[in-house]
Amino acid sequence: MTFSQIPVIDIGGLRSPHLSDRKAVAAEIRHASHHIGFFYIANHGIPAEAIAAGFAQTKRFFAQPLAVKNTVAITRSPISRGYEAIGQQVLDQTPDLKEGYYIGVDRGVADPLVQAGTPNHGANQWAALPGWREPLEAYFALMQQLSLQLMAALALSLDLEEQYFAHMTDNTMSVLRLLHYPPHPVDATADQLGCGAHTDWGCITILLQDQVGGLEVRNTSGQWISAKPIPGTFVINLGDMMARWTNDYYQSTPHRVMNRSGKERYSIPFFFDPNYHALVQCLPTCHADQPPKHAPITAGAHIMEMYRKTYETVSFSR
């Protein structure tokens, strides 16, 4: 089914004590996930103050001189944390016209996964800006809670027990990214984008975008549909991992960003991924009509392969 707009789903019912209310929201999520792979969520319960603080600290960091940002460059981290410069990531055919900052689950040297040398698990790099780290850690925690709520809804939407994914999401690989898109250069080539066309790699993405706009989603007819900013909402999209879990019944939809506004654009995506060793294989409710299309894979192996494909000069193995 081709789509021309992205639905807004009120998820307040997910906080209801009544299963029927939670299932009603899950039914809307099922429809959007199967036909589109994108939807907005409203009535999500995330405080406006936390959102404002996230944006403020994002703008504060990217306003720093390049020399300051490079003190926490991603190349200094063995686990892909910290600052990435404009052009460092290639999601399509040409380097992206954006800069970013990776923040993951902060794990000390005593953490069992760190002790085991698990790829991409360890400590964050934090910029030496007073009062910068705490609001971002608080925002990370809120996104983690919201993600678990959405995973329970996705389980219901797939006719599974509500906590089906709980044992696979109790020690996640979640990542928060701070992103800054300068105004699109007037002399940019036709194939240069703020963020090249791609699908997300993992499970679900919760995107906070400012009011500048620029996100576009490709429908099945090949048209690019604008995901315009809607105040008070987040944009949700499913990644390749969820498509794989559902035997491609749920969509991992291509999207891109081009900042044509002439203004600075900021966004904060939260990538929620399951435990490193979680097995991603066709769910029991998703192969009645056809056999599984994808071989089983661990979540960690899938994510690490995608890192290797999109960064040419950075090593992410411990």
Task: Give a yes or no: residue 316 inside a domain.
Answer: no
How far apart are alpha carbons 296 and 129 in whole angstroms? 43
Q: Does residue 315 sit within a domain? A: no
What integer pLDDT is reported at residue 316 of this predicted model?
34
201 assigned to some structural domain: yes
- Predicted confidence (pLDDT) per residue in 214-261, tens digit: 999 999 899 999 999 999 999 999 999 999 999 999 999 999 998 888
Q: What residue has token string 């392969």?
A: 305
299 part of a folded domain: yes
Is the distance from CB of 132 to CB of 57 less than 8 angstroms?
A: yes
Q: Which two tokens stand for residue 229?
A: 């900013």
Region label for 159, one of left (φ > 0), alpha (ψ between -120 and 50) or beta (otherwise): left
CA dist., res. 256 & res. 276, Å (int)? 27
The residues facing 267 across adjacent strands are: 179, 209
Residue 2 falls inside a structural domain? no
In three-state form (DSSP H/G/I as H, E/B as E, the rest C), the secondary structure along 7-73 is: CEEECHHHHCCCHHHHHHHHHHHHHHHHHCCEEEEECCCCCHHHHHHHHHHHHHHHCCCHHHHHHHE
Range of the domain at 67: 8-310
Is residue 3 in a domain? no
In-domain check, residue 189: yes
Q: Say if 1 falls within a structural domain.
A: no
Give the per-residue pLDDT at 32: 97
Handedness of CA 6, 7, 10, 11 (dihedral sign): negative
Res 80: pLDDT: 85
Residues of the chain with pLDDT under 70: 1, 92-93, 309-318
Number of domains in the chain: 1
d(CA 8, CA 230): 9
**Domain of residue 68, CATH code:** 2.60.120.330
